[in-house]
Each structure stands twice: as C-alpha cells, then as structure tokens.
Amino acid sequence: MDALILCAGKGERLKPLTENRPKPMIPIAGKPILQHIIDKIEDLVDNIYLIVKHKKENIIEHFKDHPKVKFLEQGKIDGTGEAVLTAKNHIGDEFLVINGDIVFEDTLEQFLKYKYAIAVKEVSDPKNFGVVVLDDKNNVIEIQEKPENPKSNLINAGIYKFDRKIFELIEKTEISKRGERELTDAIKLLIKEENVKGIKLNGYWNDVGRPWDVLEANKYFLDKIKTYISGKVEENVIIKGNVIIEKGAVIKANSVIEGPAIIKKGSIVGPLAYIRPYTVLMENTFVGNSSEIKSSIIMKNTKIPHLSYVGDSIIGENCNFGCNTITANLRFDDKPVKVNIKGKRVESVRKLGVIMGDNVKTGIQVSFMPGVKVGSNCWIGASCLIDRDIESDVFVYK
C-alpha cells in the first residue's frame, strides 16, 4: 500500500501565508498541515509520494529525511487529476490519495478494506463543496460540484482509496480551458464502473481554506495537547493549562503562560511576557517584555520584543515587530471582521487580527485594524495605522 499526497497547489485564498510556502506547509498546532497528514498515515503505507510544484523546495527541505517520502513534481498541466497522474510510473498497485491541505482526525485504516473509497464529511451547508450522494449501501452514486440544490449534506473530504485503474480514467478526462485536469472527473467515470465506498469521517475535518480556518484548526488541535515541558523555565513563571515547551526554549522570569499553547525550540518568552491560550510560537521566536500573544500562530524566527499585543493573528517567518506594535481584533459593532479573499470582501469571524507574510518589519507604535493582510517583505513605518491590505514588498510610512 502506498500513499500519494497532493501538495502542488498555490493556495491563493491563503495569501500572504502562501507567498513563500505551499499551503500544506502552513503550521497548525506547531507542525505543517502536511506533517499532520503524514503522521497519520506513515504506519499504514510503504511509500508516500508527495506531488509538489509551487514552492516545492520548502516541502523537500522539511521532509527530505523521511524514509518513506518521495517527491514527484507536477508538470505544466494543473489540477488534481493531473497531480495523481504524475505518480503513474512510480506508485504501487493500491494507494491512498489525500489532498495535502486538509486536516482531519479520523484514522484511515478502514479505507484499506476497500478497492475504491472516498471520504465524505457531513456539513450543514454543502453548497460550496463537492457534494457526494450515496446509496443505502454507502456506495457513491453521484458527485455534484458546488450545487445550487445539494442532494445530500455529505461533501467530498479529499481522501480516496484507488488502484491503478484511476490512471486510465484520468487519461480519459479532458483538460479544461484553464489547463487543468480534475480528479473528480475521473471519479465520476469510476463510479459508473465500480463500487466506490463513501466512508463518513466522524472526527474533526477542516479544509483550511481561509486564514481564520487556520486559526480554528489550530485551536482544535491545541485542545488535544498534553503538558510537556523540557525547555528552561525561569523564576516566578506561572504556567496554567496544557503547555508544550520544547527543549531549547526559555521562558524568562515573571512571565505567565496560559495553555493550551506550544512554544517550540529556540524560542524565548519574557521576561514579563504573557502567552494566552491557543498560541503557537514556532522555532526561534521571541516574545519579550510586556508583550501578549493570544490565539495566534507566530512563525519561526519572528521577534516581538516589547510592549506589543498580537491577538487572533497569523504572523509569518522572520518578522520583526517594533516596540508597541498592536493588533486590533474586534469591531466596535461586534459584527464579523471582513477580509479580502481573492478580491472579494467576505465575513470571517467575530475576532480576527492581522494575517502577515514573511520578513515584515514594523516600526514602533504601529497598529493594525482587524482582518488586514500584510504581504511579505513589507516595512511598516513608525506610528502607522494599517487599515487596509498591504501588498508584498511595500514600504509604508507616515
């Protein structure tokens, strides 16, 4: 049994987080989405083929030492069908196919019992998904793409079990005008010829489409952690709740940590800092004096040295925050924060801070309004109030 994970996509809706990394490499609860998937399947399969393209070096660097992982680069043609086809000359007779940008809680053992299977997830509003219709034996009888009138509330959850027959069927599908070949077109052919079992996922599942989905998934998995402290904890540090402090991390004097939270190796917190629940500090971050981080992901090498507040935010790698950088995360009218997603202004959640790319530097006393996105490599000058999205590579100043 092999596995094939689709990791080639661009993740447009998650920009700027995907400017310098593929979506499967966004960290959730302290490790990339893709790592979550591999951790779940590595004992079930012989080989794991990662289909890569956009920012592939990022994936290769992270997984190159994994004994079961192999990398295959998708060619000119895009789409999930084409991605699967990339593995044709490498993969074994039977294999799992998994979207590389989902997180899920169920184990996949039951998939191995069937020749053909597809995971489905019950949702309340399936209109924006691929809807899967099952018969009374749970065999797939129809797949609808973002239907006006869904015939079921089960959606395609992005996990499949196939054998090599899928390659033939993909080759029979057409390449769309956008130059893409979609896996679901082949599955529609498959269900005409074979029994394809619909397997309902019972546990948590999230396709992490928008920035606040990242934070929601982060919360979900943080609620599962157990306290494990192997870093250095200085005097008068108070730790409450479940907290992981990795070896090589230091919590400096008089700080307060409220879990669930993860503080990864090389990170420094404090002195006199405050880490609130649902925070992840990735490797080599620094959160210093009188700074407070809440429900946020701070990626590696980022520094928030003093008198800053970051709440309900995702901050990229290698950022440096000037003293007194403050994020707002709530509207006066308590309505959902609005965010630009692929050019459209959409409602997110009640509390959302800033979504920031990598290598951003802020000056002192910079403030961010709720839901703004800041592209990578920006410099935000002192005392600026950022109330709209900032493209990458921009120098904003007063």
Active site (catalytic) residues: 306
Write b or e for each residue in 241-279: b if 16 or more Cβ atoms lie within 10 A of its Cβ, otherwise e: ebbbbbeebbbbeebbbbbbbbbbebbbbbbbbbbbbbb
**Contact between 234 and its own copies (CB under 8 A)?**
yes
DSSP string covering 149-208, please? S-S-SEEEEEEEEEETHHHHHHHHSPPPTTSB--HHHHHHHHHHHS--EEEE--S-EE--
- Which of 61, 90, 193, 238 binds its own copies (CB under 8 A)? It is 238
CA atoms within 13 Å, Cβ hemisphere of 301: 9
- For its own copies, give the closer residue by CB, 135 or 387: 387
Position 382 contacts its own copies (CB under 8 A): yes
* Identified binder of its own copies from the candidate list 21, 197, 361, 373, rule CB under 8 A: 361
Q: Does residue 274 sit in helix, strand or coil?
A: strand
**Which one among 112, 253, 346, 394 touches its own copies, defined by CB under 8 A?**
253
Distance CA 166, CA 91 (A): 12
Among 58, 379, 391, 392, binds its own copies (CB under 8 A): 379
Q: Which is nearer to its own copies, 169 or 326 (CB)?
A: 326
The span of 6-14, 46-54, 115-123, 234-242 binding its own copies (CB under 8 A) equals 234-242
From the CB of 179, what's the least distance to its own copies, in Å?
40
DSSP sequence for 76-107: SSBSHHHHHHTTTTTS-SEEEEEETT-EE-S-
* Nearest approach, Cβ of residue 309 and its own copies (Å): 4
Report d(CA 160, CA 197) in Å as an integer: 10
Smallest separation, CB 310 to its own copies (Å): 10
- 365 contributes a contact to its own copies by CB under 8 A: yes
Q: Are 25 and 9 in contact (CB under 8 A)?
A: no
| Nearest approach, Cβ of residue 339 and its own copies (Å) | 17
Q: Say if strands 117-122 and 154-163 run parallel, antiparallel, or are unpaired.
A: antiparallel
Among 292, 312, 317, 358, binds its own copies (CB under 8 A): 292
Exactly one of 267, 367, 372, 374 binds its own copies (CB under 8 A); that residue is 367
Work out whether 289 is an interface residue with its own copies (CB under 8 A).
yes
* 358 scored as a contact of its own copies (CB under 8 A): no
The residue to which tokens 């999930």 are assigned: 80
Binding mask 303-322 for its own copies (x = CB under 8 A): ---xx-x------------x
Can residue 332 be called a binding residue for its own copies (CB under 8 A)?
yes
Q: Is residue 309 exposed (0-12), middle (13-18) or buried (19+ Cβ within 10 Å)?
A: buried
Stretch that binds its own copies, among 30-38, 55-63, 259-267, 360-368 (CB under 8 A): 360-368
Question: Which residues fall within 8 angstroms of residue 90, CB to CB, at 6 or more apart?
Answer: 49, 70, 72
CB of 386 to its own copies, least distance (A): 10
The count of chain residues that interact with its own copies, using the rule CB under 8 A, is: 38
Task: Compute the distance between CA of residue 180 and CA of residue 160 in angstroms, rounded to an integer.
Answer: 19
Return the residue of 206, 318, 324, 348 that touches its own copies, per CB under 8 A: 324
Point out which span in 91-99, 191-199, 204-212, 325-333 binds its own copies (CB under 8 A): 325-333
Q: How many CA atoms lie within 13 A of 149 on its CB side?
A: 0
What is the side-by-side strand order in the sheet with 292-294?
238-240, 256-258, 274-275, 292-294, 309-311, 326-327, 367-368, 385-386
Residues that bind its own copies (CB under 8 A): 234-236, 238, 240, 252-254, 256, 271-272, 274, 289-290, 292, 306-307, 309, 322-324, 326-328, 332, 361, 363-365, 367, 369, 379, 382-383, 385, 387, 395, 398
